[in-house]
A and B are shown apart, each in its own frame.
Chain A
Amino acid sequence: MPEAVIRVAGLGKSYVTAAGLFPALKGVDLTIRRGEFVAIMGPSGSGKSTFMNLLGCLDTPTMGDYYLVERNVAHMGSDELAILRNRTIGFVFQGFNLLPRMSLEDNVALPLVYSGIEREVRRAKGRQMLARVGLDGYAKSLPARISGGQQQRVAIARALINSPRLILADEPTGNLDSHTGEEIMALFGQLNDEGITIVLVTHEADIAAHAKRQVRFFDGHIVSDIINDSATLARKPASC
């Protein structure tokens, strides 16, 4: 059995609101192993976004433990969390989140700035990553010059640049039409075939169908956790 990339035990998060303490996540246990492709589903307010933020080391839990590659991150300081976000996790957002005034190669290579890599090495690696997501030749373009699907590919290239153990995607197809969404999902599938662990949040069942495992949240709890055997069969070969 492959080692656990993510292991959470009794993970909870409460927010302080005007009406008092609001528990968004109420003690979740989950283990995700290397090479898995997990879709996290659930209606809004179910706690899936809070869970994603905790997995992404963007937020710290108020209770429980979170082991990322067997290191407990629940009590880490902000600098240590930043280093994890930089080296161990790759993020893909719904809104792509590229820096609008930066060329695509610089956008892709941005995480390397915080790893202390030199400019020329960064750019070379950025172009290499762009080629990997099928966008070679776009290195000098600006994000506004390319389509939404292409922007999301750039964001994926950025997530991949530090060879992370884990890719976290928050509604990665939410801003795309269904055809482009399928292409992006195919790319995720291809990356998963290369051995990268992928966790994505979605509320669309046909997107979740690409994942090998589906975890459903409701009211701060996990209500179902099923293996999706049809995933590998449903997947088309990546067309890029």
Chain B
Amino acid sequence: MLGAMLGEAWHAMGCNRMRTALTMLGMVIGVGSVVLMMAIGQGAQYAVAQTISTMGSNLYILISGSTNTSGVRTGSGFGPTLNVADAEAIAELDDISNVAPVHQGTQQLVYGAKNWSATVVGTTPAYLDARAWTLTSGYVFGESDVRSATRVALIGRTAAENLFEPNEDPLGKTIRIRQTPFVIIGTLGAKGQNLDGRDQDDTIIIPLTTAQRKVFGVPFAGSVRTVVLQASSAEAMPAVEKSVTALLRQRHRLREDMDNDFYIRNLAAAADSAAETTRVMSLLLGAIASVSLLVGGIGIMNIMLVSVTERTREIGIRMAIGARQKDILTQFLLEAIMISIAGCLIGLVLGISSALLINAITNMVIVISGGSVLVAFTVAAGVGVFFGFYPARKAAALDPIEALRYQ
């Protein structure tokens, strides 16, 4: 019976191709825009997630406190309140996977006739683990290099591109930072921009001790401005923050009534807010696209209503030769569903292909997930049923005599 009804619906669609096509158009545009908008939104989320992951996950940054000299207060990071021993003590705590004291600044790099200003990061090997930073060639300096302050360096891609010829391998070359020669023992993998838009690859990483003694110089031996620390998991972060704070207060012999002489900042918070922004944006895009889907559904309802009026006589004839109310209902409902599913499929194809086209032309990140396609499809089919039901019920409720008389 359903097969016969499907045939009838198919036949009716074929009878008035222009009307069917116009009805479908609303659905095509609705589904197409939902798919496209979701692809763009998810693409943006993916791009932000990528950027965040280059920063390293579950990171805290400890910054030394400010100083107060004759009433002149410096900003944070200038007081000699954190030292390497603090970092080593923190590493002993639970749920800490990496601790790296960091001393960084901008310095002029010189190689042969070329020179270039880049961020010089003096740290320990744990820094690379915390930032999930890998090498493309060479090897990472070890703890022994940090202890003996060897003059070795890892070079980032942007710095390397500016100091060396394109076909030149930086590995084994000697560059100078403030007259001190450094041998490049590794090249860093590319990380791209961070959330501030700063190029993370414009960097040289050298042992902390070398940086402090040969490059920056420090007023108090062993003191550092910042310590990067990584919790073992996102869940452990609040506990880590508490235990690190307690440990440092104890080590710095701070009384109950005294403020912290250091700052602890959660880098995940910034990442979360960026992720939240894109999530809201993709929700917004989805919402706008859903409106067009709704309009498409209303289009189906309009055309079906017109169709019911136009085919009143046909409905009367069908009833006179034995169609029950539910047969008429089924026929019109099936027509609406077929139109919306067909429109849906065309919309999917158009949405996906325009997403791919945008991706090809603009390099915008596009993510087409099976989930979003499924959602668009189900919603569209649902819209077809929902908006097809009223006209179908109207058709089924017609009085056969009135319908037969209708001209």
**Partner-B contacts on A (CB < 8 A):** 53, 56, 58-59, 78-79, 82-83, 85-87, 91, 93, 97, 99, 101-102, 106, 110-111, 113-119, 122, 158, 162
Contact = CB atoms under 8 A, between A and B. Distances in A.
Contacts of A59: 401
Contact of A85 (B15, B313, B320): B320
9 contacts: A53-B401, A82-B323, A83-B324, A85-B320, A97-B316, A97-B320, A113-B5, A113-B8, A118-B3
Contacts of B321: 85-86, 91, 110-111, 114, 158
B314 interface: yes
Contacts of B327: 82, 114
A5 to B, nearest CB: 18
Contacts of A101: 11, 15
A114 B324 contact: yes
A116 B322 contact: no
A82 B319 contact: yes
B315 to A, nearest CB: 11
Interface string B1-36: 101110110010001000000000000000000000
**Looking at chain B, what size class is its interface with the partner chain?**
20 to 34
Nearest to B323: A114
A156 to B, nearest CB: 13
B319 A113 contact: no
Contacts of A53: 401
A82 B324 contact: yes
The 6 closest A-B pairs by CB, nearest first: A86-B322, A82-B324, A101-B15, A114-B322, A111-B321, A116-B1
Q: Is the interface of B mostly helix, strand, loop or mixed?
A: helix
Nearest to A85: B322
Contacts of B314: 99
B400 interface: yes
Contacts of A82: 319, 322-325, 327
Nearest to A101: B15
A99 B317 contact: yes
A116 B404 CA distance: 23
Contacts of A87: 322
Nearest to A84: B322
Contacts, number: 71
Interface in B261-315: 313-314
A123 B342 CA distance: 27
B322 A111 contact: yes
A86 B324 CA distance: 9
Given A58-B404, A99-B317, 12 more contacts: A56-B320, A58-B320, A59-B401, A79-B324, A82-B324, A83-B322, A97-B313, A106-B11, A114-B324, A116-B1, A117-B4, A162-B322
B11 to A, nearest CB: 7
A107 to B, nearest CB: 10
A122 to B, nearest CB: 8
Contacts of A162: 322
A97 B7 contact: no
B131 interface: no
B249 interface: no
Contacts of A93: 320, 404
Interface in B314-343: 314, 316-327
B404 A115 contact: no
B285 to A, nearest CB: 42
Contacts of B320: 56, 58, 85, 91, 93, 97
Contacts of B400: 58
A226 to B, nearest CB: 29
A162 to B, nearest CB: 8
A13 to B, nearest CB: 11
A162 B4 CA distance: 17
B404 A119 contact: no
A102 B317 contact: no
B258 to A, nearest CB: 87
Nearest to A98: B317
A117 B401 CA distance: 26
A208 B52 CA distance: 92
Contacts of B8: 113
B160 to A, nearest CB: 73
